[in-house]
Structure 1
Amino acid sequence: MKINSLKILAKKVSATLFAVFLSLNIAKSEVIFTENFEDGSWDGFTAYPSANTSVLNSGDTIYGAPTTGEIGTYIIAPEGSKLGKMWPLYWSPGNVTTSIFVKYDDYWATPETGWVPYLQGKQVKLSMDVYISSYDPMQTTTNVSIFAKFFNQDYSYYYDWASVITSVKDSLLDTWVAREIVVTVPNDVSVIQFGLEMTQQNYSSGSINVDNMAIQIVPEPSSSSLLLIGSISLIALRRLKRNG
């Protein structure tokens, strides 16, 4: 009987600690970019990566077809912007590296600090759902990754964190896949990119769709929340000892 009581108490303590942690920390997550497309609309603009790097701002519309070679299309996200759907990306036969990303640099500044100083040293989570299709997957070698890249001012070096989602030859083809990465932004960078990248060598065509893309700052536990959790833990230990 006493053992069952202790088990029940332990479960209650665990649930309480978890609830306290959620209420004090996760609620403080700061979402700095979000876009979801459940309504099926393009929300302001349509973009297909073109053979030349293009800068897109909310409201722009560009069209182009992927061609053999390096392709990079990026979007700059000023504070408070809500950017439109960037996919589907349709690819054609050839060797192609395609990326699309949200870019932060000091041109887009918050009133107080600027984006880059604001994000330096913070943990940031990038998440999205990805759907990959290929019309002839056996003839395609394609890797799709979500990434965070950090450059200095002249792009002479960068740090790179990536999470490979899938090769179109594997079982994740033609299904929605949810992926996320959490990275710490270095303190010595000038340009920050979060996005999706595809590298391929293929003899077929295909497409990629992205949904529920979000970038958010992961909060650190505050000293007050740690103190509260510690106090609850101490009280729980005393009760366990008294009942033991």
Structure 2
Amino acid sequence: MDALGESDVARDMVRALAQDVARTMVGHDWLVERLLIACLTGGHVLLEGPPGIAKTRAVKQLAARLPGDHARIQCTPDLLPSDLTGSQIFRPETGRFDFLPGPVFHNIILVDEINRAPPKVQSALLEAMAEGQVTTGGQTRPLPDPFMVVATQNPIEHEGTFPLPEAQMDRFLLHLRLDLPGAEDERAILDMVEAEGREQPAPASPRIDAGDLTRARAQVAAVHLAPVLKDFIIRLVMATRPGGLLADAVEHPVSPRGTLALATAVRARAWLDGRDH
């Protein structure tokens, strides 16, 4: 099979996965697409919105259909870094300490209500996201590949939260805001949950394997970004810098990492649309 044929096969598999996930959601097709963009580019995602709007459900449904294993971390103010990264456990039978990996040693990590975790836990997560490794017990340990963090947070005005530092916000490829559904979607949610209660759908299984994902990522990275589009991205970024047209409308200017993230996301979107440029 030639390269074009391989690209079509991989794209069709990813599209089928997206449709499969979308069938379990109401009004969140756009969210599924953006989660896939992050997955295809090795990026991380921050989902923000009020409680009860299926942020966690969306991530769990996607993770169940992707290769590798996944874990969920429910953040609370008393969470410790070792609850995330793991800890040393003494084994009396051997007289030595063994490392017990924490939930961060999974391929897809759902960090629920990340802004309820204390700053030390957020810092431990930052190392994992930035370096693909964690340091515990004086030893640095690599994380699995692929590795993707999807964090959710409730709006800051809700009580009991710790605002994420700018350094950590900058590590997310996408920051997506979700709103409450309208009346039509609300009714569809009622009908869907009622049907699930009657039919008890079978657990989801992976739709693509690790090799398929690796090939898809390579194809996304190979998408040609035209010079005119690069120039457009630069103009957008410069508009947020001091003296730019949008400088007064943004809290922080876009960093070079943000420039690269935008270019990366553009390539993934083009690939999903069936284009190689």
* TM interval, short-chain normalised: under 0.3
Which has the larger helix fraction? 2
Pick the structure with more strand per residue: 1
TM-score of the pair, normalised by structure 2? 0.21
Is the radius of gyration larger for structure 1 or structure 2? Answer: 1
